[in-house]
Structure 1
């Protein structure tokens, strides 16, 4: 038995946004043919690995797919935290909209903000947030409820050895039986897209004793996202569910006890939530937790809309604000508390690829299944004018699903990426093999309606069978008008509303019967879940490594019902590339496949990309401190920031904060 996996695979390391921009290379063009051969042979080697190979056992304090971990078994704490950060004080934040449940896994109603904080997993990588894993590396998890894990080299099974001292907040032990129960609960009562994906991959979950749990995996599939999948499932108390008869998928205000560092103190629907740090938290001294979870109290205040929330911040009603509105960032922070130094403003570099947000087409609508219609509608969005006129020139245009990373597809494919795409045969359109990756169109920054783009859009609509009638309305051969409705939450920012209104104006100029429908936040949530829209402003997830989550987000098998796929994208080409990425066993081949995936997603034109910001904009009343330098992959305000007692006392004396 080996004490540690000896893989020599290099880690994915953090790159600041500036460095990432400089490192966009047509990279991977000089990859050896051997890398592709290893990729192609991987699935066969998975199933036909020799008994001696499978008999090799890997034992480790953490997990990464390629085996190498940044932090050794005896690490004292993550490098970026302040191990001497004081415990105490309060942080308060604002949320817009409403909530009516404190169960974060309910399929109905809106759950309270940060309600996932109560729960932990075997590995320190909570599925709801990146803040449970190390924020300075990507794709690594370390033992939390589990002190170590073992798995065979073929990743046919994994055994987790749990920490016997782990406790739920009610004092009862966290056991392997709770782990198995939670795994099955998600399969029975969780999201259908999640359950379908996991059932195909995880064939067994067994408690070997009170603190040892084993999972077995299906044969003939990629070994990706197997160990980390089962290791990241939130763990609930089996006894509580059996005693109460509660369901995972139902809304409720009395959530199941968790084992995490924070517990719910109070919650008043649509008004406020308060969490308090559990003084008896079982894991407070673990290396993975040193320097973290520093606030005694986390308060969340709800507001009807963002403008009201901002005014409350200026009055000191809450103390931390992550700004997302360019107008507010550019013009709003000139109130007295900023001028007097009581409120600090920071732009903190964000090393993660920006969230792929934009206008998402509902591909379930027949009128939007024609790519020419989607391209024409996309030409109605003028990023340059929007950025200069509505957003103070603070944003950059997004093209890619992995913007500003080495995985971003640029010119025509070459090297390993080209060979991969050619190997997929007729699934890949010829133009994808010879032309640069699809990028956002350019527009005239001086006028909302770019005449060149408008002419191109109208020509595309004519070609697609939507000519203009005598009244200027576009209709198909059956006389039906081309209508587009775009719902917007009334709790959203005024800037988003203005962006949508001007986008709609350009669509109307094309002869499309387009309209914005502003609705309350609860109705907006319901309609987005039911995919009841033509176009919606939404987002997908960026990716830096393969995983089965790619199928939930972009794959065909769950496209009809996946909440993570708001377009309902179902593309055999995308499926084939995801499968190729999942089968890679070398970093170079993996990255070539992910670059191909970025290229394919952009080719499908199911989203109109908008803008992105390479930094976090944060404003806070001057009583907080954070690590310097900050880690690349998380802002971590609720994770590794802390209260400076002297600053907090001075602020309290000033009377500025309520």
Structure 2
């Protein structure tokens, strides 16, 4: 076959595939990752985890941590207000009770090519920004191009496979992809929060600002005190209030967020009635911090709602750009000296579980030896991966919880000796003659009680860990500029991991200051595993690729795994009504409503019913 004929046939095949995709594509009210039917049909009236007749009114008072100096959450500058996303709407709505389903929101219909070579959005003709201007395809194109040019660097990685955005009509816009087969990209493009082109025409998008932005969402900014508080008010003539996707949600007339720089102060403020609901992260505070007359008489309620989400990885993260952490044996040795069992017993009231996986609390966690399907993924990378990937199940060290970790110290010392370290004058000294010393950067004061026992264990082996506490703004800036040795980090996961994994682990994100590749990973084998996960063509394939990636990360010893809890721990004043059902993957705060101005003493509320 001649090269010309081969090229002609290849081109014809692509054309036929493209025509097939066009022939099979049809506008839908919802799209799913693997083209399975969504839970709700096209004629659904509301989600079953809402009360469609929930009363409107009242004020929900919440707390924020640290402060804020910007209302622009899309750029890698400043510290954006935590709930500013309520001002905006996305093209689609992510279902909190399905693994990965997107229902139409700003986009009334979605059309996905059968070969995933494009996605087309049909905008709702009634969609309006708060100033009454219609939401158009040009706004969608402007949003995407602006984020790619001036937005946080994560957008350029997240949407890297988009070739172009085509405005086909005032209410119809198409995203063309560089490659076929990326099943997730049409869905994550639906999550794009749309900006008004006409409003930004006279403003500099690349700069931080405290000017209340224009959006199309349920709430708008009513007032603020820089860094301290903000008040949102529900848009009374909101265009989307009666859509099935919104019915029964966004019931509060106002939402006020007050900021606290210290979590202990915030807890006391909550108990004093300064805000209405507290999502608790501290095991100690959850166990003992809420004891009060209000809790005893039922005016304050505590509830642990089962969280069915993958919890991802919370850990002490190494910055392997630093020479001190570039040897895997050194990283493993330092990790051996974190005594989780003692911390859980003495500090956490036994309420936590040890994190072992980057996809913890899910079927994607690598918790058994790789099967034949996984080995098919891993075998081509055998010479590039740690040998334990193929022969062992990763488990962090386990102590008796009595504070004595002789075995861990013995193994750590052995690893350090293998790496060329030795003890000199009670200090662990490397082959370069420098002491093994590093700085741990944090901004949460309550983290110090966890780090101090860890620091003691390290020092007993001659390792010097300096704890450096900085304010929230400096922490963010140093994290972005990678100016740290070690820090506390989290990598959240969804039930359908995909393109965000590039932002976490891929070489392409290592130098992006806005990415979550805090570790500084530049590993061709991990890159290949990430790419394979993104291209997975079925749920089973996704699970297999996630487990394979998990093993590579586990055995790289890139972090010291911390701990997790598989519930949302919520305390709130007894003044709210709630639907009978809680969605699987959220605790559904925006479905609550106010039933009284003051907390009701003696009343009890049934625990949220868990979906099967």
SS in 2 for 1:59: coil
- Aligned partner of 2:529 in structure 1 is 577
Q: TM-score, normalised by structure 1?
A: 0.86
1:231 maps onto 2:199 in alignment: no
- Aligned partner of 2:397 in structure 1 is 441
1:393 maps onto 2:347 in alignment: no
- Aligned partner of 2:7 in structure 1 is none
Q: How far apart in 2 are the matches of 1:520 and 1:649?
A: 35
- Aligned partner of 2:470 in structure 1 is 519
- Aligned partner of 1:536 in structure 2 is 487
Count, aligned residues: 589
Q: How far apart in 1 are the matches of 2:392 and 2:431?
A: 34
1:602 maps onto 2:554 in alignment: yes
The worse-fitting range, judged by mean Cα deviation, of 222-231 and 256-265 is 222-231
The worse-fitting range, judged by mean Cα deviation, of 518-527 and 68-77 is 518-527
Q: How far apart in 2 are the matches of 1:575 and 1:58?
A: 34
Q: CA deviation at 1:202?
A: 0.8
SS in 2 for 1:468: strand
Give matches, 1:69-88, under 5 Å: 69-88=38-57
1:488 maps onto 2:442 in alignment: yes
Q: CA deviation at 1:196?
A: 4.1
Q: How far apart in 2 are the matches of 1:318 and 1:152?
A: 47
Say if 2:299 and 2:599, in contact at 8 Å, map to a contact too.
Answer: no
Q: Deviations over 1:598-620 (max 9, x none)?
A: 22221221111111111111111
Q: How far apart in 1 are the matches of 2:99 and 2:509?
A: 26
1:149 maps onto 2:110 in alignment: yes
- Aligned partner of 2:132 in structure 1 is 171
Q: CA deviation at 1:197?
A: 4.5
Q: CA deviation at 1:47?
A: 9.5
Q: How far apart in 2 are the matches of 1:508 and 1:362?
A: 20
Q: How far apart in 2 are the matches of 1:432 and 1:119?
A: 44
- Aligned partner of 1:108 in structure 2 is 77
1:246 maps onto 2:204 in alignment: yes
1:270 maps onto 2:224 in alignment: no
- Aligned partner of 1:590 in structure 2 is 542
Q: How far apart in 1 are the matches of 2:18 and 2:389?
A: 39
Say if 1:541 and 1:553, in contact at 8 Å, map to a contact too.
Answer: no
Quickly say closer, same or farther: Cα 1:585–1:144, change in 2 above 3 A.
same
Q: How far apart in 2 are the matches of 1:534 and 1:353?
A: 27
SS in 2 for 1:592: helix
- Aligned partner of 2:163 in structure 1 is 203
SS in 1 for 2:507: coil
Q: Deviations over 1:59-104 (max 9, x none)?
A: 2111112112111111111121111111111111112212111111
Q: How far apart in 2 are the matches of 1:563 and 1:255?
A: 26
1:59 maps onto 2:27 in alignment: yes
SS in 2 for 1:617: strand
Q: How far apart in 2 are the matches of 1:362 and 1:59?
A: 46
1:183 maps onto 2:144 in alignment: yes
SS in 1 for 2:423: coil
Q: How far apart in 2 are the matches of 1:290 and 1:193?
A: 32
1:335 maps onto 2:292 in alignment: yes
SS in 2 for 1:60: coil
- Aligned partner of 2:174 in structure 1 is 214
Say if 1:224 and 1:547, in contact at 8 Å, map to a contact too.
Answer: no
Q: CA deviation at 1:278?
A: 0.7
- Aligned partner of 1:613 in structure 2 is 565
Quickly say closer, same or farther: Cα 1:307–1:46, change in 2 above 3 A.
farther
Q: CA deviation at 1:224?
A: 2.8
1:467 maps onto 2:419 in alignment: no
Q: How far apart in 1 are the matches of 2:587 and 2:16?
A: 44
1:625 maps onto 2:577 in alignment: yes
Q: Deviations over 1:470-499 (max 9, x none)?
A: x2112223321211100121xx252x2100
Q: How far apart in 2 are the matches of 1:75 and 1:586?
A: 27
Quickly say closer, same or farther: Cα 1:222–1:56, change in 2 above 3 A.
closer
Quickly say closer, same or farther: Cα 1:355–1:276, change in 2 above 3 A.
farther
Q: CA deviation at 1:46?
A: 8.7
Q: How far apart in 1 are the matches of 2:483 and 2:169?
A: 47
1:557 maps onto 2:508 in alignment: yes
SS in 2 for 1:205: strand
Say if 1:348 and 1:617, in contact at 8 Å, map to a contact too.
Answer: yes
Say if 1:546 and 1:578, in contact at 8 Å, map to a contact too.
Answer: no
Say if 2:116 and 2:183, in contact at 8 Å, map to a contact too.
Answer: no
Q: How far apart in 1 are the matches of 2:14 and 2:339?
A: 49
1:299 maps onto 2:256 in alignment: yes
Q: CA deviation at 1:397?
A: 0.9
Say if 1:276 and 1:296, in contact at 8 Å, map to a contact too.
Answer: yes
Q: How far apart in 2 are the matches of 1:423 and 1:222?
A: 22
SS in 1 for 2:245: helix
1:451 is aligned, of 406, 423, 445, to 406
- Aligned partner of 1:419 in structure 2 is 376
Q: How far apart in 2 are the matches of 1:508 and 1:299?
A: 45
Q: How far apart in 1 are the matches of 2:68 and 2:117?
A: 41
Q: Deviations over 1:593-652 (max 9, x none)?
A: 112122222122111111111111111110012223311101221x2111113xx35659
Stretches of structure 1 lacking an aligned partner (at least 5 in a row): 1-44, 125-132
Quickly say closer, same or farther: Cα 1:48–1:599, change in 2 above 3 A.
farther
Q: CA deviation at 1:262?
A: 0.6
SS in 2 for 1:295: coil
1:377 is aligned, of 325, 330, 334, to 334
- Aligned partner of 1:20 in structure 2 is none
Say if 1:62 and 1:149, in contact at 8 Å, map to a contact too.
Answer: yes
Q: How far apart in 2 are the matches of 1:650 and 1:116?
A: 28
Say if 2:157 and 2:503, in contact at 8 Å, map to a contact too.
Answer: no
Stretches of structure 2 lacking an aligned partner (at least 5 in a row): 1-12, 604-612
Q: How far apart in 1 are the matches of 2:553 and 2:212?
A: 38
Q: CA deviation at 1:54?
A: 4.8
Q: CA deviation at 1:429?
A: 3.9
Q: How far apart in 1 are the matches of 2:319 and 2:22?
A: 45
Say if 2:422 and 2:428, in contact at 8 Å, map to a contact too.
Answer: yes
1:476 maps onto 2:445 in alignment: no
Quickly say closer, same or farther: Cα 1:52–1:210, change in 2 above 3 A.
closer
